[in-house]
Amino acid sequence: MGYGENNPIAAAEAVVSNSFSLGMLNELGAKISVEKASPQEIKGYALRSVVGHEATAQVFSAILGREIPVNRQQLTNFTGILFVGQLMARLPEGKVLSATEMRALPIRWFKVTIEWNRACWDNERLSQEKVEAEEDRQATEGEIGCQACAFANIFGSAGELKHSCGAS
């Protein structure tokens, strides 16, 4: 299990990682802010690691003055503060750096704050409920339709709707 909604982070805690990816967000509706951070700022937090490589964990440990353990846990649906130590160099494909090689390259720190907008989730859920209600209405009234047709009937269609299901 990754850190996220089932494993909340306390207010004075943060997660430290060597990357941030939009793939970490399973849902839409997150407000994400990114600002510069410094090792001094990061030292003020209790940290949990999602650093997945031994050399990176060693270098982060040296920079932050405390142990940053290797932890290949996936971060999903996380709310809170994520400190990212970003290697500011493009590596050749498949290249894995040693701690010595990594120390020779610049690392910039970022504070990524992620807040979930429940209103977006609620709107998405309501939209899906409207589509399902229209599908039910069509089925009850004997109409043949598909989800795209139901969506167009509820929210309108820009131009002529072409049905792949054979409905008119």
Shared domain for 28 and 74, answered yes or no, is: yes
* Domain region containing 142: 120-155
Residue ending a domain, among 99, 116, 133, is: 116
- Domain membership of residue 21 (yes or no) is yes
pLDDT in tens, 134-149: 666 666 655 545 555 5
- Contact (Cβ atoms closer than 8 angstroms) between residue 15 and residue 80: yes
Is pLDDT of 98 > 80?
yes
Q: Which residue carries 């089932």 as its tokens?
A: 6
In what order do the strands lie in the sheet containing 30-37? 30-37, 107-116, 80-87, 13-17, 46-49
Give the up-direction half-sphere exposure of residue 49: CA atoms within 13 A in the CB hemisphere: 17
Give the model's pLDDT for residue 142: 54
pLDDT in tens, 32-47: 899 999 999 999 899 9
The CATH number that applies at residue 32 is 3.40.50.11170
**What is the number of domains present in the chain?**
2
Instruction: Tell me the mean pLDDT in the region 83-89.
Output: 92
Shared domain for 129 and 151, answered yes or no, is: yes
Shared domain for 77 and 149, answered yes or no, is: no
Is pLDDT of 9 > 80?
no
C-alpha span between 117 and 122 (Å, rounded): 9
C-alpha span between 44 and 146 (Å, rounded): 54
Q: Which residue carries 């510069």 as its tokens?
A: 36
Instruction: Tell me the mean pLDDT in the region 56-85.
Output: 92
